[in-house]
Each structure stands twice: as C-alpha cells, then as structure tokens.
Amino acid sequence: MVRLKLAIRAGWALVCVSAACLGPVGIRDAGASVGNASTGLQLLEDIQTAISELAETAKPSVVNLFPVTTGKGRDFLQDRAPNPSGSGSGVIVDPEGHIITNNHVIGDAAEIEVRLSDKSKLIAQVVGKDPDTDLAVLKVTVDHPLPSAKFGDSSGVRVGQWVLAVGNPFGLDRTVTLGVVSGIGRENVNLSRYENFIQTDASINPGNSGGPLFNLRGEVIGINTAIINFAQGIGFAIPSNMAKQVLQQLLAQGRVVRGWLGVGIQPLTPELARKFGVTENEGVLVNEVFERDPAAAAGIKPGDVITRIEGAVVDTPNRLSRVVAGLLPGATTKVEVVRNRQRMVLDVALTERRDQPVVASLPQSRTDAKLGLDLQDLTAALAEKFKLRESRGVLITRVESGSLAHSEGLREGDLIKEVNRIDVGSVGEFTAVIAKVRRGETVLLRVLRESRAFYVVLKSGDH
C-alpha cells in the first residue's frame, strides 16, 4: 500500500495510488475511496500543470552566456570547473535587454556572447560588476522587446516553500529543476564579502551560475551562484533584494557605493560577552576605531558592543558589515551600543566604504595553562621591526609553546594596549594591573598586530 499526503490550502487530501488502498470495504465505501483518489489525482495534475506553465513562462527570460575575450573569472568553489559547453547563465530583467548574472561567470571579459531562447545570438557589453556580491550586469542592443523576468521580494522567502531553478548546466539549455528553500540567511560560506544566501535543494550544477531562482508566482527571488563540492541538494542563491540594489546602482553609476562606519570588529565569544556585560551573540564587539572616520567622530570607542543599526539586529560581523554596506554614504544612521553595561544610541554620519578589511578574530580554543608570555617595553626599533605605528605599549617578545597565550593565538610582535580595559604603556603598568587579578579570574587583553586590533580573553591561572 502506497499513500501520498498532499498539503493544499483547502486542507489535506489523501491520494491512494494502489488498489490496496480500498481494502475489505463495502461497495459504498469503495466508491467513496475511488472518488477521493480521483479528487487527489486531479489536484496533483493541477499542480503539475501550474508548474509546467510556470516553467514555460520562465524559460524565455533565461540566457546562456559565453565570454568572448579570454579572461579567468574568480572561482570561489572547486566545483566551478571550466565548462566547454557553456560558461554560465543569466536572466533578462527588462525588455530593453539588461541581464543580471554572476561576476565569476564573465570574469575579465569585456564582451559576452548571449544565446537567447529562440537560438539567436547577441553580443552583450558589461555595464558594471560588483565582486563583493559576485554580481554583474550586461546589456544587449535589440530593436524589439525581449522576454524578461520580474524580481520578487526575497524578504518574504520562507524555508520549505517551492522554488524553480532555471539555467544551463553543462550546456543543457534552460534546464528546469524543482525544489524547496532549505535555509535562509546563510553566511560564512566564503563565496563573497557580503553573504546572505538562500539555500535550496533544487538541482544546481556548473553552468547554472547566474541563472534565476523563481517562486511559484514566476518572480525571481534569487540569483543562483554556487554549489558545495561533492554535496547533493545544497545550492546557494543571492537574494533578489540584494541583486536589485546592486542592479540599480550599476545601471545608475556603473559601480556600487556602500556605507562605511570605520571600525574593526570581532564576534562575541562567551568569555568576551561576560567581560562586556552582554549575552553571547547579542552584538558585535568593536576592537578598533579608525581615526577621522564616522565611528570616531560619533564617539564610538573600542570595547563598545554594537547591537543594532537603524533598528536592525547585528549579531555577527558579517551581518553588521552587510547592514552598513546597504546604507548610502552621507546618511546619518542610528547605532545602538552597549558601553560599560549601559545602552546608548549614537548618530553616525556614514562615508563611502574603503577597500580594506573590517573583521579581526582569533582562534577560540581554550586550555588551562600559564599565560606563557615574555614582555618588553616598545622601542622605536621594535616598532619598525614589527610594523607597528605606535610609540607606547607592551610588546610580546616570546610566546611559550602550549601555553594559554599560544592556544589563544597570541604571537611574537603583538602589542598589548589594554589589560581589563586599562591602558598599559609599559611592562611595569602591565604587571601592576595583572597583580590585581585573582587566581581563576579572566584577563581581557586588547592587542594590536601590525595595523589590526582585537580582543582576547585569557584565564589567569598561575601567573
């Protein structure tokens, strides 16, 4: 006996696909079962027809892309091997011929051959690229309107909803696959700087990159971008809202402009959260504030925990970077911070993002051991040797192998600037602060490594 339960808006339909469903029932009951099976089958056929019609409507807007000039695009995952049958996919987003795709599909090419659903071929020019989101916009010149797709609102995407992926895997033009949304808000996949991926089990293969992910209304809710090597049913798509924002800026000015706060940040470990009086993952720890940048001008300080920006929760460094990047330079934004266990809201006038990293972090492993540090007052010669633009501080000259300091990632040349939120400019000052730490208490260090700062928590033990 095989049974299939189908969820529909009107309720649940039980579809019996074997005669064994009837069992030893009377003629009247058997007739009712046959009627229910017939109704269930009709529902399945209706859904099948709707999906087939959706596929037929969606396919004409999907194109196959081949870079014309030699150029090697950025290859984020090993499974993105060169495909001799085609480079990738794209989707036409307006009748005038604008196409959105992945940046890694076009690479360094200035022109791209576009193959349309009617088998015609056109040459597209690159309007603009945004490597930080792995998106690019192309334009073909036509004398008639082209079939195009409309963007949907990706903020409404829910886990479990059905989606349709269309692309050109291995050169198989306009392949359609059906699946569900397996997850949303995926980050730390190491595909791009700003990650907020939709995960889907709709089959995505090399050549699908740049193609659309449709909802059942025929709206584009994502741009397919990657799969995990050797995994089945794990694909990622860039949310349509992010794609729309990039598209608008590339069309308007040929590049993407993003907001800049001017801080170094790191995630909150349980130890750091306790030290700064917040709960784990409640916010993001500021370990550095760059001079003459917006955060410094607004009064943000190292040791502040940023919890919200413009009302949006920021509980990971990736999310904070993404929220700030989504704001326009010149805008004044409200930043909520926790400082000394007190909450405050600061107005920050953002500037344009500069191309430099903003995240610093250390390994989070812990062991019970001595601190294992040899220290020395910073001199001009040592500052030059370790590329430090500082005149005062406590320099780590040796880290004992296997010690707690070693396990937490500290190394020779690191400069200690604070101990338990107290500035230290010499070994004597460091020793005076450490002397007040009781056995078993933790020690919070603010450390400078070359041009980057970070916080680390050490358990004092026997010091």
Q: Which residues are catalytic?
A: 104, 134, 209
Q: Is 262 left (phi over 0), alpha (psi -120 to 50) or beta?
A: left
Rounded to whole angstroms, how far apart are CA atoms 291 and 217? Answer: 49
Structure tokens at 20: 């064994």
DSSP 380-416: HHHHHHTT---SS-EEEEEE-TTSHHHHTT--TT-EE
Q: Which residues contact 60 (CB under 8 A, 6 or more apart)?
A: 116, 117, 118, 147
Residue in this structure with the two tokens 């049974």, named with its chain if needed: 3
Q: Are 399 and 405 in contact (CB under 8 A)?
A: yes
From first CA to last CA, the distance across the chain in angstroms is 71
* Dist CA 170 CA 162 (whole Å): 24
Kind of pairing between the strands at 219-227 and 150-151: parallel
**CB of 444 closer than 8 Å to CB of 275:** yes
Which letter, b or e, does each residue of 160-176 get, where b requires 16 or more Cβ atoms within 10 Å of its Cβ? eebbbbbbbbeeebbbb
